[in-house]
Amino acid sequence: MQKKKDRNNQKGFLLISSLFVLSIMMVIVSFYLNGIIQEIKVSEIINTTPATYYLAEAGIQEAFWKLQNDSSWKNNFETDQNWSGSFTRNNTLINNSSYIVTVQNIDYANAIITATSTISVRGIDAQRVVQASAFKAISNQIVEGNALVSNGDIEGIGSVIDIIGGGLSANGDIDLMLFSDWTTTKTAKAVNDVDITSSSSLTATEGVFDSNNPPIPLAILMPEIDFDSTATSSYKSLADQVYTANEFKKLLKDYPVTILDGITYVTGNIFIKKGDILTINGILVSDGSIKIGNGYSQNQEPASLTVVKTEREPSGLISKKNISIGGFSTNIDVDGLIYAGGDFIITDGILQNVNVSIEGAIIAQDIKILMSWDATVLTLNEQYIADTLGTPLFSQVLFINHWEEEY
């Protein structure tokens, strides 16, 4: 009897042990199975990430279109300083997806566009937020008496500028720091504040004016330029030669010493690197950004751009987006208007000289002269400005900044 009882106990122990081991194995298998499922979900969400980005981009582009073509949006954008608008789209391009777009004016014809896209994957929402700044020049008045005009801020860090015959004006702030030395034979005006650190100086023969030093300056609206509308007066319509970005890049590569006459229009970004010697007898226009002396090149010669004025014809350098000069050795000599729908930036190459001489004016969203120890000489010529601005019948809404908020 005792042996039989022992055998039964052993069987019971083995059964319990087997059940315990089986339970542990089931827990382990469930753990790994759940991990695999989560990995699959994560993988699908990661694979969806590009789609959420492009979906948000679609929202940005739709808002951009509405600001230019929807009469209600266009009117509110241009006439109501605090206007905002929004719209939502569901399942337009991808199943189980949506995007929400808001547009908030921060000034007349100046807004932040925010597009939030969502794609549902296995019960989890993949999301992307993209933002862009939209701006439209709405003034048809010629800028008078100023050689340096910013729709936002003017910033100088370790820089030297001599302005002759004209003043400088910012619709935001003027900030000079780190041994900057700026002089003008006219006035220096900021709608908000002029802030000069103790190591820097701003000498304005006819006075410095801001919100604390009346008369408080009035904002100067950026004048209109028609880049590429279908009107016969647009720069693209008037162009003597039109290049794509790649065609213009190849032109400079094949002919490092290049001379172009009249109106040259480039559909895309322009890069003028060390060793490139470009002469424009007229005006160079880009519907992207213009970068001169920014990109690295093994060529030891500086990037060189010369713009020559032809009487009563437009001349200068104009861009829908940013214009940046320097970083590497650069020589710039421009007779005409420099106009950037985005930022205008000069950055010295520290150990490589950046020489800039301009007769005409500079007009941009924000102006930054950074670590530029060789004096930039800017001489006002209002006739050059007038010849280049002309009398546009239309101006485009411009993207001046574009960034990803979160993802």
Model confidence pLDDT, tens digit, residues 46-77: 555 678 888 888 888 899 888 888 889 888 88
Considering the entire predicted model, what is its pTM? 0.75
DSSP 5: H
| 43 pLDDT higher than 70 | no
Report d(CA 38, CA 19) in Å as an integer: 28
- What percentage of the chain exceeds 70 in pLDDT? 80
What is the distance, to the nearest Å, from the Cα of residue 44 to the centroid of all Cα atoms in its chain?
A: 32
* Two structure tokens written together for 205: 């023969």
Residues ≥6 apart with Cβ < 8 Å to 228:
234, 235, 236, 265, 287, 396
Q: What is the pLDDT of residue 393?
A: 46
DSSP 222: P
- Residue 95 Cα distances to 90, 117, 293, angstroms: 8, 12, 46
Report d(CA 204, CA 210) in Å as an integer: 13
Tell me the three state secondary structure of residue 18: helix
| 407 pLDDT higher than 50 | no
H helix count then E strand count, the chain: 5, 26
Residues ≥6 apart with Cβ < 8 Å to 81:
105, 107, 108
Alpha helices in 207-244 (DSSP H): 235-238
| 37 pLDDT higher than 50 | yes
Q: What is the pLDDT of residue 107?
A: 80
- Residue 302 Cα distances to 283, 292, 297, 349, 368, angstroms: 21, 10, 10, 11, 21
Q: What is the pLDDT of residue 144?
A: 79
- What percentage of the chain exceeds 90 in pLDDT? 45
| 392 pLDDT higher than 60 | no
When pLDDT is averaged across residues 193-201 and rounded to a whole number, the result is 94
For the beta carbon of residue 38, count every other beta carbon within 10 angstroms.
12
- Residue 299 Cα distances to 253, 303, 348, 353, 366, angstroms: 12, 9, 18, 15, 31
Residues ≥6 apart with Cβ < 8 Å to 48:
119, 121, 126
Name the range with the highest mean pLDDT among 115-129, 259-273, 291-305, 366-380.
Answer: 259-273
* Two structure tokens written together for 64: 């951009």
| 398 pLDDT higher than 80 | no
Residues 288 and 266: beta-carbon distance below 8 Å: yes
When pLDDT is averaged across residues 293-299 and rounded to a whole number, the result is 73
What is the distance, to the nearest Å, from the Cα of residue 339 to the centroid of all Cα atoms in its chain?
A: 14
Question: Amino acid identity, residue 379?
Answer: T
Q: What is the pLDDT of residue 219?
A: 86
For the beta carbon of residue 407, count every other beta carbon within 10 angstroms.
13
Lowest mean pLDDT among 183-187, 209-213, 273-277, 293-297: 293-297
Helix axes 2-69 and 71-79, enclosed angle (nearest 10): 80
| 389 pLDDT higher than 90 | no
| Residue 125 backbone zone (phi > 0: left; psi -120 to 50: alpha; other: beta) | beta
Lowest mean pLDDT among 204-208, 297-301, 394-398: 394-398
Q: What is the pLDDT of residue 334?
A: 95
For the beta carbon of residue 15, count every other beta carbon within 10 angstroms.
10
The residue ranking higher by pLDDT, 194 or 5, is 194
Tell me the three state secondary structure of residue 137: coil
176 pairs with which residues across the strands? 156, 196
Task: Name the pLDDT band for 139 (thresholds 50, 70, 90).
Answer: low
Q: What is the CATH number of domain 49-137?
A: 3.10.450
Domain with CATH 3.10.450 in the chain: 49-137
When pLDDT is averaged across residues 131-156 and rounded to a whole number, the result is 82
pLDDT digits (tens, 9 = 90+) for 93-102: 777 888 999 9
